[in-house]
Amino acid sequence: MKSFFAPRGVMVIGASASPEKLGAVMATSLDSSGLPVARVNPRATEDGFVASAAEAAEAIVAMGGQPDLAVICVPAPATALAIAECAAAGVTAALVCSGGFSEAGPAGIAIEAAVKQELDRTGMRLLGPNTSGYFSPGSKLIASFVPGAHQLTAGNVALVAASGGVNHMLAFRFAAHGIGLSLGVGIGTGIDVDHTDVLNYLATDENTDVIALHIENVDDGPRLLSAVRAAAERKPVVALVVGENNVSEFAQSHTGALATSWRTTRSVLAQAGAVIVDSEEQLISAVIGLRSGRLHAESHGSAALITGQAGPGLLIADALASAEVDLPPLAQSTQDTLGTLLPPITFQANPVDTGRPSETFPEVISTVAADQAIDVVGIYGLTEPVLDMVASVRPALAHNDARIVVAMDGPPADIAGIQAQAVAAGVPFVTGPHALADALSALIQDRKVRPRAANFAVSDKLVIANDRTWDENSTKDAVGALGIPTPRRCIAHSREEAHQALTDLSGPLAVKILFPVVLHKTDVGGVHLNVSTPEMLDVAWDALEKIGAEQVLLEQMAPGGVDLIVGARRDPVFGPIVLLGLGGTTAEAVGDVAIRSAPLSPETAAAMIDDLAASQLLFGWRGGPTVDPASLGSVLSTLGGIVATNDWIEEVEINPLRITDQGLIALDSVLITRGEGQ
Amino acid sequence: MKSFFAPRGVMVIGASASPEKLGAVMATSLDSSGLPVARVNPRATEDGFVASAAEAAEAIVAMGGQPDLAVICVPAPATALAIAECAAAGVTAALVCSGGFSEAGPAGIAIEAAVKQELDRTGMRLLGPNTSGYFSPGSKLIASFVPGAHQLTAGNVALVAASGGVNHMLAFRFAAHGIGLSLGVGIGTGIDVDHTDVLNYLATDENTDVIALHIENVDDGPRLLSAVRAAAERKPVVALVVGENNVSEFAQSHTGALATSWRTTRSVLAQAGAVIVDSEEQLISAVIGLRSGRLHAESHGSAALITGQAGPGLLIADALASAEVDLPPLAQSTQDTLGTLLPPITFQANPVDTGRPSETFPEVISTVAADQAIDVVGIYGLTEPVLDMVASVRPALAHNDARIVVAMDGPPADIAGIQAQAVAAGVPFVTGPHALADALSALIQDRKVRPRAANFAVSDKLVIANDRTWDENSTKDAVGALGIPTPRRCIAHSREEAHQALTDLSGPLAVKILFPVVLHKTDVGGVHLNVSTPEMLDVAWDALEKIGAEQVLLEQMAPGGVDLIVGARRDPVFGPIVLLGLGGTTAEAVGDVAIRSAPLSPETAAAMIDDLAASQLLFGWRGGPTVDPASLGSVLSTLGGIVATNDWIEEVEINPLRITDQGLIALDSVLITRGEGQ
């Protein structure tokens, strides 16, 4: 990636003398880097142009550089040839901004295939096509045709955007907050260089302290996840994923690819350590919160809020509660000190409502920041002539471990001035109540999702031999052998065996058709519940015989409880994933499901419960049973491990897995081998 | 309200010579209005002070004014006396900024009671306490102690905020967008003047084109709703409601009141015609979208999006889809014209992706704006030297009916310049993809919720005599008589009557204990389903006898289907309300419920279905039955009408109301009389 982002020389293929043409704009833009830049145009006769890549390489070397990067500004059909020539001249990295590749239909697909073939043959790396490029303001390297990009300043934030437009949009938004960039890259169609490549480069880039990702679709999920994990171990990663709704027709025209499942992508990126945001505004606030440092990994993840005005404070507290950020009551000793600093009528437990900030404000901040239970302090206030906010936070910054984020509102010119002071002082600064809540919750979310040491190793006991027919009984045998409780059961091939089973198992039984391909037993009348007498069993047997049952499964009925759906399957993008949802159509209709990539530890899996909007139903809702999270985590980890370990398994599902007063029990289960479910 | 917002003279009670004191800040702030301002301080001997309200009134008259308004800056305990003196001097409106009233505990409660008594006695109106005041930049009347308020400019947006801090915060945010205010009011504790009073004033205020509300709690719901309805008939009303989460402890310290139900408040405000927003950022964008004019009431409510860059366009399209804003394909003729204006590789159906805007951009905009199906056009682009956005939209503004909203991103200085041009040209302008989506969806939401003519009149047939014991059967009789289908049924007082009922009703029966106070029949074993034979009936009868049943209800079993919960009850704040939800614990746990105030027409009620996150379950989900929205609307309207018409009814609920292939049927119902359910 160094050839792209720290080249020793650049050639522009298709450079033009017409200043409005892409090839001219790019060459002019690159000149400001001070690097050797050579303009290639076989038809150009003017000074300053050369006729070929080979001549350009010579010229660059003559200027003391190396021809690392080619910016290719020729029409799509000429791209493959340009790559071949550049590679022959020693270039190792190519940026292609134009469109006309696979997104443009059959002709474009053929063009893209030819380009890829050339990349394979030469080992050249390609960024694009369909991108407005990238910029590295620190080295004044602006490989972008967007003129305003030259006004961007250097800083410690890196952007990796699926779209060149979004890359620039975010960069300008950061500029409005006084924040500079180490690198901003638009991946474009991404036929070669992708998010993962750039992320791996940024993980160890010393100029980058926080990485913001904008993702439209993912090709190689596991590769991206491992890059996110590696990066997030070192620095915060914030991710905005597009595609909550079906915008695939438009998206496809844009990227030539169907959007990856939004829900799955967000879930597994968070699991890998990324802070997930819902909008570009939230991304900006999250990065501002995180760019001056993360919370300690061992911190509680608790916030305090100090507000000069109660009304905005209430908006912030409400938004923090929505983000599940805890504002715990401050220690009594903290509250006692605050009592000496603030008028008695203000609220001091947390939030701390100071009323109009007075001269005690710096001490209020230091007092709250010194509270052992508090890891981050958010401060909100309207601007006031008597209030020097940046000076007020300085004592706390100097003496306390807690991180501090400041938000203010006031006359725009005043805000601009304070923002500049805050940026200079390294104080995260945003405008408005919601932005403060977003910045605080990003700090806490980062601490929560940050990858913990030690990868989880799957037990080798999860190897299952594909040596039988996979019906409900054999699947239950398999998952039961791995520690997932199943009901006591028998198989009957005759009425006599069935009656024997009724005697042996005792108690009311579920009597079900047993046949590998009948996946919806209930729909065909293949399930009879609460069979407790020989008469009832005969009725059930007759009915099952009528629908052609040759084997019948007889099981002890489980006690009542709350039904879950748990399973693991192969996601086409991310590989093995685990799913947890509540039973019933409503949960399915509202999409209330938790997703993780597998393998995963029982502890990681247990936390999936928190993702469910209706999670309270699992904890003694209306006198019902309460789940043991460790047991559920263990079931989910086992299912994920099964799919991750056994290549021949496409999917394993337990539906329902019932929470009862006696623990979890798998009432039905299905195993689908690869190819079978397609 | 004119005494507050257009006074002919102002006295400041508790004016001070110490410039940092509230009384001095307020008086100085008021001086800039050019109105006669009198400073009252009995201990002041300096020039420019008078000793009493009476002297102040004389001074104001001498200056050619009238003593309409008193700004009272004395400590809370002295407020009641100050009001008495002001009233005696002819003042009709008082602004009280200080705290120390009911939010401050028992002593404060007594002080507040004394103030209220004085208001009742004198007829004086009071704004506050606990507010930073209000401002009317057009008349340079700044009754606020926040210094920056003097930098606010005049404009056509009015703010009514629960909190003075939020009033200022929003005003400054509008200023950052170059937008001025007609009036900004912080209600504070609101012991007298409330949102409704100010809203009624603003509804006919000629300087105000859009009203933004910030609501923490509501005292008199019906009064607020009728003010919102009246205002929304004339101009857009945007509302931000705080309190999604339980922040009541802090809220109570702030306002002295428990937050009103967030969900109910949002639902009924939208029903009354307000555009509901989720954050202050969304409020700003919504107001920007609406302040230059609403959509025609007869429009389709369809948007088109033109984007210079596909990536931000995708973010916008995704956000619009989340807000349920339709981007219908443009007419073929529109697409044909666009085909002549744009390069062939761009997406032109809607969104219209122009690629980098060229000289055809103004014509692209006019073409899309001329499409008959399109009511509002959103335009997004990065700044470019070649692109004069405001000039580009002018032809479309001049010749087309469609509204236009523009969003741009770019270097901050460029954006500031374009924003100023846009504001001057009356073009709604925001920064960033999400803000554009929010502005567009506000325009469409406003059209959707805008009050339609003709209030709905409840049928007088909904009068029910409270002349019986209200058990399941009599409630079903009552709702059945009003057209809500119920199962065929009989009451049995003896086993013989029960067997006769089995014969008469035929088919399988539900056999249930009938007793007014047993609300959870199933929990006590009082329900036996699918009773189809005399033997099964005997078993059921024995069981019901054992739990003490003296009357038994026998009903024909309904076919399977999807179960709803519908009901109407009296909300403590808003009066009669109607609720619709899906049956089952998941819907309840995730709070997936639709709420409206009653009475309401069947058509209005039918639209409640759209509020349900899981609404697809009502429309043939997996081969299940499909609801007839008109029938469901009729049931909901009837239930609402019952509670609205019959004062003695606290609540009526049908749970479940089942959707079947043969229509809706009420399987269980409960009527609670007033006092009973408390």
Q: Which residues of B touch A161 (CB under 8 A)?
A: 311
CA distance B66 to chain A (A): 33
Q: How far apart are CA B137 and CA B167, in angstroms?
A: 13
Q: How far apart are CA B413 and CA B410, in angstroms?
A: 8
The residue out of B449, B470, B501 marking a domain boundary is: B449
Answer whether residue A593 shows pLDDT above 50.
Answer: yes
Question: Do B577 and B666 lie in a common domain?
Answer: yes
Question: Do B102 and B116 lie in a common domain?
Answer: yes
Q: Which residues of A touch B310 (CB under 8 A)?
A: 163, 165, 250, 253-254
B393 falls within a domain: yes
Contact across the interface for B613 and A309, Cβ inside 8 Å: no
Unique residue bearing structure tokens 């036929």 = A191
Which residues 6+ apart lie within 8 Å of A535 measured at CB? none
Question: Do A103 and A122 lie in a common domain?
Answer: yes
B149-166 pLDDT per residue, tens? 999 999 999 999 999 999
Mean pLDDT, residues A205-210 taken together:
97
Q: Which candidate from A132, A317, A432 shows the least CB-CB separation from B247?
A: A317
A497 falls within a domain: no
In this structure, the strands spanning A509-513 and A552-556 are antiparallel
**Residue spans of beta strands (DSSP E) within B390-501:** 403-409, 429-430, 489-492
A483 falls within a domain: no
B472 falls within a domain: no
> CATH number, domain at A613?
3.30.470.20
B243 pLDDT band, cuts 50/70/90, is: confident
CA angle, residues B604, B605, B606, in degrees to nearest 5: 95
Question: Do A137 and A285 lie in a common domain?
Answer: yes
B161–A contact, CB cutoff 8 A: yes
B475 falls within a domain: no
B642 falls within a domain: yes
CA distance B72 to chain A (A): 18
What 3-state DSSP class applies to A494?
coil
The residue of chain B with its CA nearest to that of A241 is: B315
What count of CB pairs under 8 Å joins A to B? 267
A490-520 pLDDT per residue, tens? 999 999 999 999 999 987 999 999 987 756 7
Contact across the interface for A617 and B589, Cβ inside 8 Å: yes
B411–A contact, CB cutoff 8 A: yes
> CATH number, domain at A168?
3.40.50.261
Distances (CA, A) of A658 to A109, A585, A669, B211, B341: 50, 16, 12, 52, 61
Contact across the interface for A617 and B582, Cβ inside 8 Å: no
Question: Do B51 and B106 lie in a common domain?
Answer: yes
The predicted structure's pLDDT at residue B164? 94
Q: Which residues of B touch A281 (CB under 8 A)?
A: 281, 432, 434-435
- The number of distinct structural domains making up chain B is 5
B460 falls within a domain: no
Mean pLDDT, residues A291-314 taken together:
92
**pTM of the predicted protein model:** 0.94
CA distance B22 to chain A (A): 11
Contact across the interface for B245 and A345, Cβ inside 8 Å: no
Residues 24-83 of A with CB under 8 A from B: none
Question: Do B83 and B93 lie in a common domain?
Answer: yes
**Residue spans of beta strands (DSSP E) within A242-316:** 275-277, 303-307
Distances (CA, A) of A391 to A104, A396, A398, A405, B656: 56, 10, 11, 14, 62
The residue out of A130, A148, A171 marking a domain boundary is: A130
Distances (CA, A) of A164 to A127, A143, A415: 11, 11, 30
Mean pLDDT, residues A622-627 taken together:
92
A469 falls within a domain: no
Contact across the interface for B244 and A322, Cβ inside 8 Å: yes
Q: Which candidate from B312, B410, B411 shows the least CB-CB separation from A166?
A: B312
Q: Which residues of A touch B312 (CB under 8 A)?
A: 163, 165-166, 169
Q: What ipTM was predicted for this assembly?
A: 0.94
Q: Which candidate from B132, B311, B385 shows the least CB-CB separation from A163?
A: B311
Contact B124, B92 (CB under 8 A): yes
CA distance B444 to chain A (A): 19
Question: Do A233 and A247 lie in a common domain?
Answer: yes
Question: Do A155 and A275 lie in a common domain?
Answer: yes
CA angle, residues B296, B300, B304, in degrees to nearest 5: 100
Query: For the stretch A567-605, what's the b/e string if a residue is b when 16 or more beta carbons lie within 10 angstroms of its beta carbon?
Result: bbbbbebbbbbbbbbbbbbbbbbbebbbbbbbbbbbebb
Distances (CA, A) of A28 to A39, A148, B384, B414: 10, 13, 16, 21
The residue out of A130, A154, A170 marking a domain boundary is: A130
CA distance B363 to chain A (A): 21
Residues 289-318 of B with CB under 8 A from A: 308-315, 317-318
Residues 82-141 of A with CB under 8 A from B: 99-100, 103-104, 132
Ordered alpha helix ranges (H), A135-261: 164-176, 195-203, 221-234, 248-255
Question: Do B259 and B402 lie in a common domain?
Answer: no
User: Domain residues for A606?
Assistant: 562-673
The predicted structure's pLDDT at residue A585? 86
B264-282 pLDDT per residue, tens? 999 999 999 999 999 999 9
CA distance B244 to chain A (A): 7
Taking all residues of chain A, what is their mean pLDDT, rounded to a whole number?
92
- Find out whether the peptide bond into B656 is cis, omega within 30 degrees of 0: yes
Question: Do B280 and B153 lie in a common domain?
Answer: yes
CA angle, residues A406, A409, A413, in degrees to nearest 5: 110
A360-385 pLDDT per residue, tens? 999 999 999 999 999 999 999 999 88
CA distance A647 to chain B (A): 32
Question: Do A209 and A272 lie in a common domain?
Answer: yes
| Cross-strand pairs, A25 | none
Contact across the interface for A169 and B433, Cβ inside 8 Å: yes
B116-152 pLDDT per residue, tens? 999 999 999 999 998 889 999 999 999 998 889 999 9
B473-486 pLDDT per residue, tens? 999 999 999 999 99
Query: If phi over 0 gives left and psi between -120 and 50 gives alpha, with beta otherwise, what is residue B178?
Result: left
Contact across the interface for B166 and A104, Cβ inside 8 Å: no
A397-431 pLDDT per residue, tens? 998 889 999 999 999 999 999 999 999 999 999 99
Contact across the interface for A589 and B169, Cβ inside 8 Å: no
Contact across the interface for A172 and B409, Cβ inside 8 Å: yes
Question: Do B426 and B530 lie in a common domain?
Answer: no
The predicted structure's pLDDT at residue B675? 77
DSSP secondary structure letters along A234-245:
HS-EEEEE--SS
CA distance B457 to chain A (A): 35
Q: Which residues of B touch A151 (CB under 8 A)?
A: 411, 413
Contact across the interface for A280 and B432, Cβ inside 8 Å: yes
**Residue spans of beta strands (DSSP E) within A422-574:** 429-430, 489-492, 509-513, 527-531, 552-556, 562-571
Which residues 6+ apart lie within 8 Å of B45 measured at CB? none
Residues 426-465 of B with CB under 8 A from A: 431-435
Which H/E stretch holds residue B669? strand B669-673
Unique residue bearing structure tokens 């509102």 = A409
The predicted structure's pLDDT at residue B454? 58
B255 pLDDT band, cuts 50/70/90, is: very low
Contact A290, A210 (CB under 8 A): yes
> CATH number, domain at B50?
3.40.50.720
The residue of chain B with its CA nearest to that of A177 is: B412
The residue of chain B with its CA nearest to that of A414 is: B148
B71-113 pLDDT per residue, tens? 999 999 999 999 999 999 999 999 998 888 888 788 899 999 9
Contact across the interface for B318 and A617, Cβ inside 8 Å: no
What radius of gyration do chain B's Cα atoms show? 31
A319–B contact, CB cutoff 8 A: yes
